[in-house]
Amino acid sequence: MIYDSLDLESILKDFPVTRKITYMNNGSLAPLPLSSIKAMTDFLIRYSELGPDSSTIQEHIVSLMKETRIRLGHLINSEPEEIVFTQSTTEGLNYVSTGLNWKESDILVIRGGPHEHYANYFPWLNVANKFKVKIKELKIDNNGFFDLDELERIAKSSNIKLITLSHALYNNGAILPVEEVGKIAQDNDILLCIDAAQSVGSIDVDVKRINCDFMAFPSFKWVCGPPGTGIFFCKKKSASLLEPKYIGNESAIITEKKELVFLDSPKKFQTGFRNYVGLAGFEASLRYILRLGINTVRKMNISVANQLRNELSKIPSIQFFGPDNEKTRTSIISFTIDGVESKTIVSKLEEKEIIVAEREIHIDKRLIKIVRLSPHFFNSYDEISKLVRELQIISK
């Protein structure tokens, strides 16, 4: 038992969603704890009473940004100046795809190509089309893993500019060996960009151990923050490689010859960000996750996932996708049930106030529509039983 029943009870009280429905779609959007909702309301009251544009509110916003950067340092081991506020993972990945100076001879390595979440595929495809850059798709097995020796061989060939991959897969929860990839990238002087949408807040993420140049993730999945807030991590020494995607008043200065000189990161990239309400919620959600501790969060969510898998495996017509070994998967569980379409399962569960998602996996050139459960630490054993019961009924 990771948490005693009292602890879980207080967690359940923190998440109003648990009073209404069984929510297991955190890989898409996670609900906020009450403390984050309150932080946003408090911010708006303060903003409307003391500002919006007064030195008191300006100081408050500056300190909110500072606090958030420090807390992110505790979560992902980044430095404050490596943190750029965005609205989503997609935005962060586009900072890299649009910011690098591409040449026709460059080669981009993408794990599985279109098997990545499209947010980490389309921006690169656009680069390939626009600059005639070549994409090398790293071959994957049915669980989404790849051969590190093959990656090493590819990395040794010339003109590889960047490797990109997800830390954890959105469709089957596989955790990919990003630290090993980081070593290969470093040994061969190749840039590394990580899509961490499905890992930050769910499993331990350490940008220094991974040694990536760039990473993007949202607050609104596993960190339980508000929609419209995310992070672009840009390693200090890699910031000079990127031209900023947005250029404005706060990100540069002008010389007498009307030349632009970009400020140092994160200011270089941090222009036009206005979602301070979201930031207040994000900061509170970070505090929540850090108070529990990422290792506890991980133990709790994998414990929920394992119980679900054990119970569900008793349904004869169920087929799971993704790795079995719990060390190589997040709490995401993907499956099909013979004879029932996944979208029917999703809608039948929704009728019973259980929220899950339909996603897709390509296996052996076949597109399989799967049901994706993405439970988090606040899902209770009662909810597991309810979901299993409903799936047993649906499978008959």
Ligand X SMILES: Cc1ncc(COP(=O)(O)O)c(C=O)c1O
Tell me, what DSSP letter sits at residue 241?
Answer: G
Residue 301: both structure tokens together? 């969510």
Give whichever of 60 and 270 is closer to ligand X, judged by the CB atom.
270
Minimum distance of ligand X from residue 258's CB (angstroms): 36
Give whichever of 36 and 374 is closer to ligand X, judged by the CB atom.
374
Distance in angstroms (rounded) separating the CA atoms of residues 27 and 102: 32
Pick the closest to residue 180 from 225, 150, 223 (CA basis). 150
Give whichever of 198 and 342 is closer to ligand X, judged by the CB atom.
198
H-run or E-run covering 278:
helix 276-292
Give whichever of 162 and 384 is closer to ligand X, judged by the CB atom.
162
Pick the closest to residue 350 from 305, 306, 393, 387 (CA basis). 387
Amino acid at 71: R
Q: What are phi and psi of 110, to 5 degrees?
A: -125, 125
The residue ranges that bind ligand X (CB under 6 A) are: 28, 88-90, 117, 119-120, 166, 170, 195, 197-198, 218, 230
Minimum distance of ligand X from residue 170's CB (angstroms): 3
Write down the residue that tokens 């960009």 correspond to: 193
Minimum distance of ligand X from residue 48's CB (angstroms): 29
Minimum distance of ligand X from residue 134's CB (angstroms): 23
Q: Count the alpha carbons within 13 Å of 383 in the hemisphere toward its beta carbon.
A: 24
Give whichever of 88 and 271 is closer to ligand X, judged by the CB atom.
88
Minimum distance of ligand X from residue 230's CB (angstroms): 5
Expressed in angstroms, the distance from the first to the final Cα of the chain is 33
Give whichever of 8 and 207 is closer to ligand X, judged by the CB atom.
207
Give whichever of 106 and 116 is closer to ligand X, judged by the CB atom.
116
Minimum distance of ligand X from residue 194's CB (angstroms): 10
Distance in angstroms (rounded) separating the CA atoms of residues 242 and 224: 30
Minimum distance of ligand X from residue 305's CB (angstroms): 17
Distance in angstroms (rounded) separating the CA atoms of residues 44 and 280: 9
Cis previous bond, 316, omega within 30: no
Write down the residue that tokens 């890989």 correspond to: 27
